[in-house]
Structure 1
């Protein structure tokens, strides 16, 4: 979910029958062609759930895709693999993509956004904290160059607080935030799921704010680092039908997670190692975009860029103001909505 110079950088047998009935495959006819191998860059983050479900069921197979999963611990490592030509299609937080776009990288195109995770990320604090102002002089843990980092910087700015003087921001890997918070090494944590949910469940802890407090959330429904799917430009040129089929599979898996999360959860638990209750909670608190919704977000009326594209442009400009990237790219130049 989470590269530039500043380090921006879950089978279930039921699905065969389900996909053939009303629901998950409606409107998505399998393509009559030999299976094409797609090297996919993913992780246990929810932005990759749809790809994992489609791979672990027969969704991708019926669409002529042989998906080979490669896991990466960071978005920067995943994007590095895309740039090196080792990954064909990937999911990533848009921040890491923007950092490369700001440097002129043309090796990839943004082709969709699969979800809205605004309720799965936020700032967690001790119960005594009533507002951001109560965090003055406190230590806040966050993973630098992540969507949680952008959220923290933005809400501090909204509260007229200086992140360099009013608080101490501690850079911690996502998998270390829980231990640091539980051990009182930090007073608050900005995190995303599953760390977000695990910290929130601790005694004497509450959610101060989530992504709905982000400046661009209300006007654009945009989280601080929305998930995007991208394709390597050279791969798309060589296999122009594959990205389209891939997005059809993503949409079918998203429909399943929306309509039958209790059936998707056991599949995903092999990826995330979450309990069934934890997995179901994440599935239910996340908005999984349908194919039509993805298209509407990328393509506006009259063929103009859709609201998601406009929002990411605003986010890019904000990252410059927050001194996270040096310049703001023209986001529309990296958008390819034809596969939707």
Structure 2
């Protein structure tokens, strides 16, 4: 259901003003990559830019991407692998227009205390959600350690919400997860984080995690509403600046979305590195290491049979609205 949270609280005069605002349909969820858009709605940052941003929640990334491609929403944040998969099929209906954050410190591989290094996973069972960023992380880590999935290590497909119970019960010896499951598992007795996304091979060279979030928009919307997109990004990165510099001040608004306890919510915000508007140019510029990293990520996905071919990622990047 679409929610115009800012408009709902407006007095009559405000409603009249908001009706003249340009509408933007955003697809989100409770995942931290959507915090900037939610915060910008709740704090009135979009309203200040004469935008009426509606929020529609999606339970899965695939549903959100499908809604974007079909024109049911205008903008969304999605994991880059999902965007790369659509690119690999030749769709030109969207563009990457921003990078919200880096959540590499709240995704990783959690093991039992006796496991000291990746090589110690030989003969053990690792649980991970297949076709996810954590799955790419596991495959890459095993490569780095000279281990083969299915031969040296049993890699099991476990839905993300079920990973804590599987680890706690001993069904798996290690779990690759992202927050909030990552936080829940690492807090268990006899559990420790062996590595996080900063050990991913592409992070070391390009600063790219296995499943970085990207802000995407429909090409048709960009072409028709360039000034509205610029104002959207201004408000969006105003929210990012607050997440980065005043995390405590964002908790009350965000818990309305996530239903987390305040302390857990603050930990989530502080666990990510929030990119500012000033950093976007360097991230998305032609020749940037970050876009080179996304290209390498696409090539890695081909190698791990996640997609059939690697698209030329730069052709889907548009920094003209920053």
TM-score scaled by structure 2?
0.92
Q: Which of 312, 328, 332 does residue 314 from structure 2 map onto?
A: 332
Give the corresponding residue for 1:315.
297
Deviation of 1:306 after TM superposition, in Å, equals 2.1
- Which secondary structure does the structure 1 equivalent of 2:171 belong to? coil
Alignment of 1:254-269 (within 5 A): 254-269=240-255
Give the corresponding residue for 2:287.
305
* Residues 1:280 and 2:262 are matched in the alignment: no
Give the corresponding residue for 2:114.
128
Give the corresponding residue for 1:28.
none
CA contact 1:142–1:171 (8 Å) conserved in 2: yes
Give the corresponding residue for 1:224.
210
Stretch of structure 1 that moved more, 61-70 or 100-109? 61-70
Give the corresponding residue for 2:16.
none
Q: Tell me, in whole angstroms, the C-alpha distance in 2 between the residues paired with 1:61 and 1:288.
A: 22
Per-residue deviation, residues 166-197 of structure 1 (Å, max 9, x unmatched) = 11211122112122222222211111111111
Deviation of 1:305 after TM superposition, in Å, equals 3.5
Stretch of structure 1 that moved more, 319-328 or 170-179? 170-179
Deviation of 1:212 after TM superposition, in Å, equals 0.6
Give the corresponding residue for 1:203.
189
Deviation of 1:307 after TM superposition, in Å, equals 2.1
Q: Tell me, in whole angstroms, the C-alpha distance in 1 between the residues paired with 2:273 and 2:136.
A: 21
Give the corresponding residue for 2:128.
142
Give the corresponding residue for 2:64.
78
* Residues 1:94 and 2:84 are matched in the alignment: no
Say how many residue pairs are matched. 307
- Which secondary structure does the structure 2 equivalent of 1:243 belong to? helix
Q: Which of 144, 168, 180 does residue 158 from structure 1 map onto?
A: 144
CA contact 1:305–1:332 (8 Å) conserved in 2: no
Stretch of structure 1 that moved more, 41-50 or 134-143? 134-143
Q: Tell me, in whole angstroms, the C-alpha distance in 2 between the residues paired with 1:276 and 1:42.
A: 21
- Which secondary structure does the structure 2 equivalent of 1:312 belong to? helix
CA contact 1:211–1:224 (8 Å) conserved in 2: yes
Give the corresponding residue for 1:6.
none
Alignment of 1:34-113 (within 5 A): 34-113=20-99
- Which secondary structure does the structure 1 equivalent of 2:104 belong to? coil
Alignment of 1:225-240 (within 5 A): 225-240=211-226
Q: Tell me, in whole angstroms, the C-alpha distance in 2 between the residues paired with 1:334 and 1:136.
A: 40
Q: Tell me, in whole angstroms, the C-alpha distance in 2 between the residues paired with 1:291 and 1:62.
A: 17
Q: Tell me, in whole angstroms, the C-alpha distance in 1 between the residues paired with 2:50 and 2:159.
A: 37
Deviation of 1:285 after TM superposition, in Å, equals 2.2
Deviation of 1:320 after TM superposition, in Å, equals 1.1
Q: Which of 173, 181, 189 does residue 187 from structure 1 map onto?
A: 173
Q: Tell me, in whole angstroms, the C-alpha distance in 2 between the residues paired with 1:36 and 1:183.
A: 52
- Which secondary structure does the structure 1 equivalent of 2:151 belong to? coil
Q: Tell me, in whole angstroms, the C-alpha distance in 2 between the residues paired with 1:77 and 1:138.
A: 34
* Long gaps (5+) in structure 2: 7-18
List structure 1 runs of 4+ shifted beyond 6 angstroms. none
Q: Tell me, in whole angstroms, the C-alpha distance in 1 between the residues paired with 2:234 and 2:67.
A: 24
Deviation of 1:34 after TM superposition, in Å, equals 3.8
CA contact 1:81–1:87 (8 Å) conserved in 2: yes
Q: Tell me, in whole angstroms, the C-alpha distance in 1 between the residues paired with 2:77 and 2:172.
A: 30
Higher helix share: 2
